[in-house]
Each structure stands twice: as C-alpha cells, then as structure tokens.
Amino acid sequence: MTHSTDAAELTQERPAFSNFDLRVRRIRELSPHFTRVTFTGDDLAHFGTEGLDQRIKVVLPLPDTGFETFPMGRDWYTDWRALPDHERNDFRTYSIRAIRVPERELDVDFVAHGDGGPASRWALHATVGDRAIIVGPDARSSVRGSGLTWNPGSARHLLIAGDETAVPAISAILEQLPDSAVGRVFLEVPSRDDILTLDAPAGMVIQWIPRMSPHRDYGLGLVSAVRDWVGEHVRAVAGSSVDLDDVDINREILWDVPDVTAAPGPEDMYAWIAGEASAVKTIRRYLVSECGLDRRSVAFMGYWRLGKAEG
C-alpha cells in the first residue's frame, strides 16, 4: 500500500459493513438441526456490533475456486455484481449468536436443512481450518446500528416469535434484555431435540413448539400459538383494524420493520416476529389488521421463503 493510499484510507469514512477474512476454529452440533460454527481471525479486532439481532452475510466458497474471485475492497458489492455468474460467490444472511473480540471468536448458529442451499450445505461439510468470509459491522465506521431491527422503546410487554432460523437472533436478544423484562416468547423448532437452554429474564416466558415432522408444516404451530396467546392476552383495539398492503412473498421479501432511529410506537406492547415468510405474513395480518396493533410497535421479518433461495 502506498502512502497516498494510506492518506486516503485515513480521510475516507469507513462503510458500516466490511469484509472479514476468517477461518473456522470450532464446530459444535448443538442439536440435530443446529450447528454452531465458531470463526476466528485477526480481522475480528475491528468487528463492531451491539449484539441483539445483528445480521451479517456469510460468503460461500465456489466449488472450484473458493474465494479467489471474491472482491475484498470497500466497493466489494459493486465489484461483485460486475462479475460473470460463474465467478460470483453466493452469500446468505445470518445472525451473530455471540462475538468475543478479545478472543477473536464469532459464533454463528446454522440451521441444518440439508444439501438444498449453499449455506446449509457449507455448514454440513465445514471443517476446522476452512477459510470463510463474513460481511459484518465495522467498528471503525461511525455508522452504528446497521443490520439491527430490535427497537422496543419503553414498551412494557414484549411478544417475540420465530422459527429455528430466528432462534439465534432471539437467543441473543433475550440475553441482553434487562432483568425486569416481561413478555412471551414462541419458538418453533424442527423437533423436541432442538430445544435449547436459553438465558433469559425470569419474566420472559418461553414456549417451544416442536414440529410433528421436522421438515413439514412450517409455521403452523407458531401461527396458532401466537394467535391463541394474543387472543387471550391482548385486547383487540376495537374499530381500528388497518388495511395492510398485501405483500406478495413470491416476488418480494417480507420486511416490515419500524425505522430503528425513529420514535417507537405508542403501544405498551412491542412485537418482533421472524421466520418463514408466509407464517410471518399470517401473523402480521392478524396482529395489525385484526387486532389493530400499531405498525410502529411491531417488526415483521421474512427470514426465508419455502421453496425459494435467498436473493
């Protein structure tokens, strides 16, 4: 690097997200469908995150060339888009389960759903020492809070619901809640053996919902548990049913999240819902259209779509 580049580096603002060049340090099967991969590397010295539901991108190696063609500079996304298809690495969105900067360790919990997607396949076959590239928050940037959606404001009652893909984010959120937090958590997982031990305030009651069959009826149990609970505990705001724009989940990603920098909604309740898009869509319609919950008090995120690859 020349001195003139050094000077440019110093005066140029760093982007909120940068590439981190890492290796796999440990792999641990947490349960039949959760695999924890611990990444390591000196780059993690600059990894900046406020925890919670921090999202990242995991870049996946190409079968023959690995990361040879993946652009590592600041404009990596523009450069990546300009590449021919066969040189373009896939990447997928994940959550940070834990980060330990002093130890240079980053945990990501991958849901094992077979060989059908490059990320799940990668996690299935990963071995210690494998190279990995993660696009994550850069501590050297002045931009904070990118890739976070959790924003309960001063709401006193919390409703959190998600499937297995949201369990890592929800686990991290629960660990950071104040001891006084009160609310209900619904977690749908593939099987009974995927129920994990979570660290949460005593006032957060957790209900696990194992599916009858791990890879069928996604979202059914979650939708009905949330409906039952809301019907019993949350008074519908009479006369305030809201007409929602109908999100076509076959064409677009369902992402209806209040701006984290804006004032939170007026409700005494905050809800955060993530998982398979059609289940999230059903819960959204129920909470907002039928129960009249203010949209500023609810975050709805389609984390994946049945039958469709991310992207």
Ligand X SMILES: Cc1cc2nc3c(=O)[nH]c(=O)nc-3n(C[C@H](O)[C@H](O)[C@H](O)COP(=O)(O)OP(=O)(O)OC[C@H]3O[C@@H](n4cnc5c(N)ncnc54)[C@H](O)[C@@H]3O)c2cc1C
Compute the least distance from the CB of residue 163 to ligand X, in Å: 7
Stretch near ligand X under the rule CB under 6 A, chosen from 21-29, 93-101, 151-159, 284-292: 93-101
Nearer to ligand X, 168 or 183 (CB): 168
- Near ligand X in 214-233, by CB under 6 A: none
**Which is it for strands 98-100 and 91-95: parallel, antiparallel or unpaired?**
unpaired
Distances (CA, A) of 210 to 184, 194, 303: 17, 8, 19
| Number of chain residues interacting with ligand X (CB under 6 A) | 25
Distances (CA, A) of 266 to 71, 146, 263, 289: 44, 24, 9, 17
Q: Give the one residue of 18, 54, 89, 165 binding ligand X; rule: CB under 6 A.
A: 165
User: Cβ distance 265 to 154 under 8 Å?
Assistant: no
**According to the binding rule CB under 6 A, does residue 272 interact with ligand X?**
no
Q: Give the one residue of 39, 54, 59, 113 binding ligand X; rule: CB under 6 A.
A: 113
Per-residue binding letters, 169-208, with ligand X (x by CB under 6 A): x---------------------------------------
Give the separation between CA 31 and CA 111, rounded to whole angstroms. 10
Stretch near ligand X under the rule CB under 6 A, chosen from 71-79, 81-89, 220-228, 300-308: 300-308
Q: Give the one residue of 51, 66, 117, 153 binding ligand X; rule: CB under 6 A.
A: 117
Burial state string for 103-128 with b = 16 or more CB within 10 A and e = fewer than 16: ebbbbbbbbbbeeebbbbebbeeeee
Stretch near ligand X under the rule CB under 6 A, chosen from 3-11, 69-77, 163-171, 223-231: 163-171
Nearer to ligand X, 233 or 308 (CB): 308
**According to the binding rule CB under 6 A, does residue 31 interact with ligand X?**
no
Compute the least distance from the CB of residue 17 to ligand X, in Å: 13
- Near ligand X in 63-92, by CB under 6 A: 92
Nearest to 67 by CA among 103, 21, 110: 21
Beta bridge partners of 17: 137
Give the separation between CA 222 and CA 277, rounded to whole angstroms. 12
Compute the least distance from the CB of residue 11 to ligand X, in Å: 32
Which residues 6+ apart lie within 8 Å of 232 measured at CB?
none
Distances (CA, A) of 139 to 7, 10, 46, 222: 19, 14, 5, 36
- Give the torsion sign (CA, 275, 26, 134, 48): positive
Compute the least distance from the CB of residue 286 to ligand X, in Å: 21
Length of the chain equals 311
Compute the least distance from the CB of residue 266 to ligand X, in Å: 26
Return residues touching ligand X (CB under 6 A). Answer: 55, 92-95, 109-111, 113, 116-120, 165, 168-169, 303-310
